[in-house]
Structure 1
Amino acid sequence: MGNPESNVTDLGQLPRTSVAPHLPLENVFKIETDSNIKKVLWDPSKELTKFVSIHDSSFRVWAFEDQLISAKVSNTIDFPSSSENLSPLTTGVWNPNRPEIAICKECSIQGWDLRSQCIEGAHSILVRALDYNPNKPYQIASAGDDCKVRFWDLRNTAESLKEISDHTHWVWAIAYNRFHDQLFLSSGSDCQVNLQSIVSISSAAFQYEDDESEDEYQDITGFANRKPTDGLVRTYDQHEDSVYSVAWSASDPWVFCSLSYDGRAVINRVPSEEKYKIIL
């Protein structure tokens, strides 16, 4: 029998009859640029007044006009490259807690707010992924071609808060759980998706600081209930190619999806035992 906690969808093999009818998309506006767009970051605030486009060697801040039917560039930050063949910018992320943007520049992470930030040498080689902790305003995670995931406190970046080395090849995507930030996803070119518990540096850490009891008990779920601890919760190896993206459900905190290069989307759930460690 198949894994009851997963649902695998191969996008390239869906029968035509299973595709729901779709409504036509309306082209609201188009932005003209003179370079490739690597990524677009949308303003996470309710006002939705601006967005950012990341290019090979610059990023641009766009301001919406005329009730979101057009936009113009309000600011441009350029990054001169030390090599003609090198594209220094790879990705970026918008802090959901404040008007702050972090950008990956080669092996470093740079941020812009009312003041500038830079984490020099955040990784030994290319940084490919970033995500802000939605529940801790000063915490950011990064990952890259050194196969490592690192967590940073932006108030003191002399060294990382935590480092995880559970991947064997480039790490392409990372994601904090928006409801329970002690749950963290990473995926990479090793065809794996890792679910981590990082409770010690999460917003929930204080809940367990005074709990010194190690006793187990069988609750109504039938699981032995222990307090959450740091470590690899589970590795998911249902993909046969590089996993380029991971995302948590916006409505169900225990569901997440991963997408690989071959077009396969896999939906999984957090293991029940880990779930009950958090909610009980």
Structure 2
Amino acid sequence: MSLSTRYIREYLELNKTVTLEKIGTLTLPDAISKDEDGNIISSPAFVYDKKAVTTPEFVDYLAEATQKSHSIASADLEYFLDQTRQLMNIGSTPFVIDGIGFIYADKSGGYQLSTEKLEETKEREKKHYEDNYSNSPLTSATNYATRKVNKKVIGRWVLILLIIGVIIFGAYYIPKSSFNFFKDSPADTAAVADTLTKPKVNVPVQPEKPVRKEGSYHFIFQTYPTKAQADKRIDQLKSYGNVVSMDSSSSATGTLYRLYIAMDNVQATDTVRLKDSLKSYYGHAVTIE
């Protein structure tokens, strides 16, 4: 969904203040001035508040401006702000507000407003909302981790290709007589005969736990005591465009159903940053496996 931020600017011009959910409050002075392009050059004030609730009157204004029902306008705005926070938290894209400036996540995990680069970001605003907000922020996080792959990974692939080349060379050019040591010795023959005389016993094979490749992590952000509760939460998150998965683990109190985000090709040095970003977004402590 693409929601033009001009509605935020228009509402600000009329009412001088607006609060956006889990982002903060923007305030304009009583007397505002604009440049030739219509951008507000009066210095706006911004107060970050991670517990902020969207101004109810702004939802009413948005419903009237977009000619939608109040419930649909409210759901659209909630989804828009949800995706906006995800992109800011992972450092992918700032929140550009048409004619005002842009809000970005700082190193402490809060948000700040800047108007210094407004002219540089105006031309990117349309593509910013049509492309970036239609994708899951987790995809952006994965792409960022992929770009961090260094020369060591390339070196491992070169080594693998060299080993395959040696094996192929040996298969074609080493005389078959060189492999005579594979023939059964008398002791081996006796052992085979002894095996054939004994009844075969089927031993159950224990399934092996999948081995996760290097750079692959599960970021577990929420657990539930019942599968029904976990399924309900997953359905809700997926309806917002989040890419989440679920597994289960046994504990002293029973089975726990865990919601997690799987990421591949992540550098170990990036796990703390991603963990903090996901904790800030989902509002729960995050563990890594």
Query: TM-score, normalised on structure 2?
Result: 0.27
User: Larger Cα Rg: Structure 1 or Structure 2?
Assistant: 2
Higher helix share: 2
Higher relative contact order (CA 8 A, sep 6+): 2
Higher strand share: 1
Query: TM-score, normalised on structure 1?
Result: 0.27
